[in-house]
């Protein structure tokens, strides 16, 4: 079974990964085909807009210098790498084979694109990521993916009233 | 939870301590939901610690729509028979995979009823099909599944028809 787990820096997405690894993926009966899950951890970061809109009348776009662009890109990539390495640790702790993938762009589009391209059987994601509006039950990326993915999707929510996932349920 | 499972997938002895996991699969008359049950049985239900409940929600017939009381009575009875048949079909599927599943018939508005049942029964994972009875081909996600993904207080897995044979 091929699984794609969408990761961002939010607690929800790490909880979703931990939940999936604990409850779905770390158990494989012997000699069963499709029993062992191959996991791809995908992190999508938004593209850096290399221009700044100054306020005030009559001002035009100011483009960031190449130095700034370069350093922001570097910071983004480092951040992505650290997120994914944390995610990878969660998988390897439970002996789940996982690969990592970093992409730049709009998260919801990229997730759907990669799910199709990799022909995954299941996409796993948290319910809310960046836009953690407390009243919204389901974030925009999860909502979009639930409606547009062609494969099965698992949305994992943080239990109410719990800040951090504990070891026991 | 200590696990010594090897990457090759050798079966771990039953001594491994597992916390019970309540899984609920929602069924209606559509083939879609039975496919989702089948998929769940094939890929998700693997451990003895998983407790599976198959639930069917009957929507009560509107009593005001029929002129005579007797029509309503028999319609309701037909619904219950239908529900029982659906769940026995689901039960059979589970037995084929050696899974011991509980069945449950509830009455009410499917989306609210399923979400309340999730809370009351402490369900950890809800599995729904993507489209049930409202076979609008362009809609990728039926209204009940959509509601459940948004409002159920547990993890929700939406099963779609596979586009390719696996």
Which is higher by pLDDT, B46 or A39? A39
* Distance between B83 CA and the closest CA of chain A, angstroms: 26
Q: Which of A4-18, A71-85, B6-20, B130-144 has the lowest mean pLDDT?
A: B6-20
Over residues B14-21, mean pLDDT: 62
Q: DSSP assignment, residue A159?
A: P
Tokens of A105: 């762009």
pLDDT the model gives residue A52? 67
Element (H, E) at B81: helix B69-96
Structure-token pair, residue A131: 């836009």
Query: What is the rounded CA–CA span in Å between residue B35 and residue B31?
Result: 6
* Band of residue A125 on the pLDDT scale cut at 50, 70, 90: very high
Percent of chain A scoring above 70 in pLDDT: 75
Would you mind telling me the total number of residues written for chain B in this entry?
Answer: 166
Give CA–CA dist A146/A156, Å, rounded: 12
Contact B47, A26 (CB under 8 A): no
**Cβ-based burial of A85 (10 A; exposed 0-12, middle 13-18, buried ≥19):** exposed
Measure CB to CB from residue B157 to each of A34, A152, A159 and give the nearest one. Answer: A152
DSSP characters over A85-122: HHHHHHHHHTT--EEEEEEES-HHHHHHHHHHHTT-SE
The torsion defined by the Cα of A10, A12, A14 and A18, in degrees rounded to 10, comes to 170
Res. A113: pLDDT tops 70: yes
Average of pLDDT values for B97-121? 92
Mean pLDDT (chain A, rounded): 80
Of B47, B153, B166, the CB nearest to A27: B47
Q: Can you tell me the distance from the alpha carbon of B148 to that of B44, in angstroms, rounded to the nearest whole number?
A: 19
ipTM of the complex: 0.79
> In terms of pLDDT, which residue wins out, B21 or A29?
B21
pLDDT of residue A115: 93
Which of B149, B152, B161, B164 to mutate: most A Cβ within 10 Å? B149
Q: What is the pLDDT of residues A46-89, one digit of tens each?
A: 887 776 666 666 666 777 778 888 888 888 889 999 999 999 99
Half-sphere exposure of A100 (CA within 13 A, CB side): 20
Tokens 């693997």 -> residue? B46
A-chain residue closest to B159, CA distance: A152
Mutation target for A interface from B155, B161, B163: give the one with most A CBs within 10 A: B155
pLDDT in the model for residue B2: 47
Put simply, the answer to whether A27 touches B43 (Cβ < 8 Å) is no
Q: Which helix (H) or strand (E) holds B158?
A: strand B155-159
Question: What is the distance between the alpha carbons of residues B90 and B37, in angstroms, rounded to a whole number?
Answer: 8
Calculate how close chain B gets to A164, using CA atoms only, in Å. Answer: 16
- Which residues of chain A are at the B interface, by a Cβ-Cβ cutoff of 8 Å? 1, 16, 19, 22-24, 26-32, 34-36, 94-95, 97, 119, 121-122, 137-138, 143, 146-157, 159-160, 167-169
Give A138 or B144, the one with higher predicted confidence: B144
Q: Which residue of B has its CA nearest to A126?
A: B155
Q: Is the Cβ pair A30, B10 closer than 8 Å?
A: yes
Of B10, B43, B47, the CB nearest to A34: B43
The whole-model pTM stands at 0.80
Smallest CA–CA distance from A20 into chain B, residue:
B155
Q: Inform me whether the pLDDT recorded for B98 exceeds 50.
A: yes
Distance from CA of B22 to the nearest CA of A (A): 11
């Amino acid at each position: 079974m091929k699984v794609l787990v969408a990761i961002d820096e939010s607690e929800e997405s790490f909880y979703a990964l931990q939940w999936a690894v604990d409850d779905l993926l770390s158990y494989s009966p012997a000699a069963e085909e499709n029993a062992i899950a191959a996991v791809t951890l995908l992190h999508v970061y938004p593209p850096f807009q290399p221009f700044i809109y100054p306020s005030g009348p009559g001002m035009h776009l100011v483009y960031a210098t190449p130095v700034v662009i370069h350093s922001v890109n570097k910071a983004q990539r480092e951040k992505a790498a650290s997120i994914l390495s944390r995610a990878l640790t969660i998988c390897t702790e439970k002996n789940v084979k996982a690969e990592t993938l970093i992409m730049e762009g709009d998260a919801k589009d990229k997730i759907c694109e990669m799910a199709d391209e990799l022909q995954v059987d299941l996409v796993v994601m948290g319910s809310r990521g960046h836009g953690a509006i407390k009243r919204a039950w389901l974030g925009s990326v999860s909502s979009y993916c639930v409606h547009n993915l062609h494969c099965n999707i698992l949305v994992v929510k943080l239990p109410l009233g719990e800040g951090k996932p504990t070891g026991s349920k | 939870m200590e696990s010594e499972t090897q990457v090759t997938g050798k079966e771990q002895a039953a001594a491994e301590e597992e916390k019970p996991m309540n899984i609920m699969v929602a069924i209606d008359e559509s083939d879609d939901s039975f496919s989702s049950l089948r998929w769940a049985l094939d890929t998700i239900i693997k451990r003895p610690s998983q407790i599976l409940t198959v639930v069917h929600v009957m929507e009560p017939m509107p009593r005001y729509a029929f002129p005579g009381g007797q029509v309503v009575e028999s319609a309701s009875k037909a619904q219950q028979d239908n529900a029982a048949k659906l769940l026995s079909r689901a039960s059979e599927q589970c037995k084929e995979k050696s899974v011991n599943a509980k069945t449950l018939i509830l009455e009410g508005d499917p989306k609210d009823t399923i979400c309340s049942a999730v809370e009351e029964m402490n369900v950890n994972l809800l599995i729904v099909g993507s489209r049930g009875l409202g076979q609008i081909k362009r809609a990728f996600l039926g209204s009940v599944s959509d509601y459940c993904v948004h409002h159920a207080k547990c993890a929700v897995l939406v099963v779609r028809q596979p586009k390719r044979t696996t």
